[in-house]
């Protein structure tokens, strides 16, 4: 039986069969208040891997920087409607916001700098924590997975994402400083569980930007000590191919399907299916 980088034995997750029908979607928040840990990269590439296994995926770009939008080849400044307009226009048909990408089964709800104003505007909204959930409710039955790419903060936008989500994936870079903020994030998740969304789960901690160094191995061990079997078996290696794929506006699973990092993201997708997180 193979072992992962932490020495845990596990059976290799099989490639899932394509689905014959789609929906209702599992909503996954890709969340960490620290920036630069691979949230957007992981959102795009897990989505890309899942579509290759016949799943229909929607990425909700919930970061005013709009990196997920750009990373899928959409010019958010050129589209008429974004996730921001969907949040504050309850009569809007969400289908008018969703953009189809060049990749079968992969759509995106774009964001741009307008979303930075949402934090202040949400304060005066009725049921302000549940605005995104009401938006996604319109399309949940059309997708197998909805991935919310959160901004690096613990403000109202992130609380909206956690309220709308069935579960959370926490990307953590394999470096010491990335560990420090995870405790704060877990406190926020627990508050949302207790007060708003009791069914919210932590689907796993995904270690990113790993290189074979003593420092990375020590961080990996600390992450395991904190989260035990909630750490994904697959660890995402640091690779120049990832920014190359971002420039090409393609998931690495499509841009360089035989690359080591593409295989790692496909393994994460298979693990999500094998564990029943994704149908």
Domain extents in the chain: 26-275
Least confident span in 1-15, 70-84, 168-182, 238-252 = 1-15
1 falls in which pLDDT band (50, 70, 90)?
low
Q: Are strands 99-100 and 106-109 parallel, antiparallel or unpaired?
A: antiparallel
pLDDT at 10 over 80: no
Who wins on pLDDT, 77 or 54?
54
How far is Cα 105 from Cα 184, in angstroms, rounded to an integer?
Answer: 35
CA distances from 92 to 74, 77, 146, 157, 165 (A): 21, 19, 19, 19, 21
CA-based nearest residue to 31, from 172, 156, 139, 143? 172
Give pLDDT, residue 36. Answer: 85
Least confident span in 17-21, 40-44, 130-134 = 17-21
Separation of CA 277 from chain center: 13
CATH assignment, 26-275: 3.40.50.300
CA-based nearest residue to 250, from 60, 108, 76, 44? 44
How do residues 143-172 score in pLDDT, each as one tens digit?
A: 999 999 999 988 899 999 999 999 999 999
Give pLDDT, residue 193. Answer: 94
12 falls in which pLDDT band (50, 70, 90)?
confident
Segment 109-122 shows an average pLDDT of 92
DSSP assignment letter at 116 = G
pLDDT at 222 over 70: yes
Q: In 130-181, where does DSSP find H-type helix?
A: 131-136, 156-164, 176-180
Give pLDDT, residue 105. Answer: 95
How do residues 71-99 score in pLDDT, each as one tens digit?
A: 999 998 888 899 999 999 988 999 999 99
% of the chain surpassing 90 pLDDT: 67
2 falls in which pLDDT band (50, 70, 90)?
low
33 falls in which pLDDT band (50, 70, 90)?
confident
Residue 9 in tokens: 């034995």
Least confident span in 6-10, 29-33, 42-46, 114-118 = 6-10
- The neighbouring-strand residues paired with 145 are 26, 57
């Amino acid at each position: 039986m193979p072992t992962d980088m932490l020495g845990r034995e596990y059976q290799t997750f099989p490639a899932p069969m394509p689905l014959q029908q789609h929906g209702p979607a599992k909503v996954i928040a890709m969340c960490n208040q620290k920036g630069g840990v691979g949230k957007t990269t992981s959102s795009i590439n897990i989505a890309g891997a899942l579509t290759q296994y016949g799943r229909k995926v929607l990425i909700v770009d919930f970061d005013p920087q709009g990196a997920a939008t750009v990373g899928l080849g959409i010019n958010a400044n050129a589209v008429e409607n974004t996730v921001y307009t969907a949040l504050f226009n309850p009569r809007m048909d969400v289908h008018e916001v969703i953009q189809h990408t060049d990749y079968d089964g992969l759509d995106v709800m774009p964001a741009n700098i307008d979303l930075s104003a949402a934090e202040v505007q949400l304060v005066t909204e009725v049921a302000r924590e549940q605005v995104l959930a009401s938006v996604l409710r319109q399309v949940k039955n059309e997708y197998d997975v909805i991935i919310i790419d959160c901004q690096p903060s613990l403000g109202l936008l992130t609380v909206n994402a956690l309220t709308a989500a069935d579960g959370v994936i926490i990307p953590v870079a394999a470096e010491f400083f990335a560990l420090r903020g995870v405790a704060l994030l877990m406190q926020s998740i627990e508050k949302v569980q207790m007060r708003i969304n009791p069914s919210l789960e932590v689907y796993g901690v995904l270690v990113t930007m790993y290189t074979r160094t003593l420092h990375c191995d020590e961080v990996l061990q600390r992450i395991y000590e904190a989260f035990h079997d909630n750490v994904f078996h697959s660890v995402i290696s640091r690779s120049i191919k990832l920014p190359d794929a971002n420039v090409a506006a393609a998931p690495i699973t499509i841009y360089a399907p035989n690359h080591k990092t593409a295989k790692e993201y496909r393994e994460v997708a298979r693990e999500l299916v094998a564990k029943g997180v994704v149908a």
